[in-house]
Chains A and B, each alone.
Chain A
């Protein structure tokens, strides 16, 4: 199962990668960790005349805390996110979801930016970015622009980036105070893409009132889904006032076009999704309560 031929370009910087993309146009594809792209190339499901390799570009790798923002360069391997003290101190939700991604061998090569730019609807990182309102720093020969996560994911394996743009870094807002985070997913086997999953973030005030919260689901449709109405409903309520099961029910009701096929009917998938929302929410609350 061998790929079709391509020309290879090893970018030596982010700017160089942007230039290459600009020059080579639609026939070019970025490769970072290759954990999603290489299998598709091997199966000849896709082919490109040019591959631009950003897996060894120094200024596309790194994790920095900058006041209230955690900036993760896009080609940072998942394993560095998993092991980073800076991440666990700043955006612990990333630390919680990373071990659920595939297997450690995949995480040694796969990158956080690769996952986000690939935009698989069942992936965890896009849901985290969406839940936390991350900003995607995108680079092209025309310069840099920021795309809010809410506008970034537009469909299955589709983002709102232009074809000559590369994801340079993801800026995650840091939540502080009495905060808690949770993730729950259901997959056929350990490490598989989730049938459905959810991430949750919550901030409590001193009176156990929910002062801030975020819930995002993955695997439920063609893109990660934020449960904005559910969040509004929860704001201002006291812990326990709305049961986790109710939170789950509310969240799935917001999914407009749930995935549906003969093997996995939408009712089943949403039922599982509701259950993962309930669990993720419970875990987040528990953490915030004790934090």
Chain B
């Protein structure tokens, strides 16, 4: 738990493999801590009340909404943000490549949250059914794509074939 012995709690958290320390006030969300203290602005704030999913990150291996976690609650946690999913030289992950191939983004604001969620979804269910894909995506909101390219991206990333007009075989 947060070290409170000096009066101001220090939070130590591993982010994308790097140990980060900070002294966020207790009410500062993990999302804000990542964006401001860690200067990782890929995690976005779309609603700040846990519905849109734009702030989704990996915390101890599970996809969570970082706007609903206080930074002090992440003491000792292992965090992966969107920035941690591609290689340092810019090589895209399978999911990121699929999103590009499938035209799964337009304005890009919801995209980091989707990429994290899809990565989690496929890790736990590598060959999802159509219904499982949609349910797995239902916790992230998009306003530009109508979800069409995103659903297609999941199928491509899962190695499923996709016919013209986005229908699976």
* Interface residues, chain A, with chain B CB atoms under 8 Å away: 1-8, 10, 12, 31, 34-35, 38-39, 41-43, 51, 53, 55-56, 79, 99, 102-106, 108-109, 189-191
Contacts and interface: CB of A to CB of B under 8 A. Distances in A.
Interface in B70-117: 70, 72-73, 75, 117
A96 to B, nearest CB: 15
B6 to A, nearest CB: 14
B77 to A, nearest CB: 9
Contact of B139 (A31, A39, A105): A105
B49 A34 contact: no
Contacts of A53: 1, 72-73
Contacts of A3: 27
A263 to B, nearest CB: 20
Given A5-B25, A38-B50, A105 B75 contact: no
B118 to A, nearest CB: 12
B151 interface: no
A10 B1 contact: yes
Interface residues of B, number: 32
A103 B25 CA distance: 29
B64 interface: yes
A6 B27 CA distance: 6
A54 to B, nearest CB: 11
A109 B26 contact: no
Contacts of B136: 104
13 contacts: A2-B29, A5-B25, A6-B26, A6-B27, A10-B1, A38-B68, A39-B49, A39-B51, A43-B49, A51-B26, A104-B63, A104-B139, A106-B50
Contacts of B120: 104
A107 to B, nearest CB: 9
Contacts of A51: 26, 70
Contact of A105 (B9, B49, B117, B134): B117
B115 to A, nearest CB: 13
B1 A103 contact: no
A105 B53 contact: yes
Nearest to B58: A108
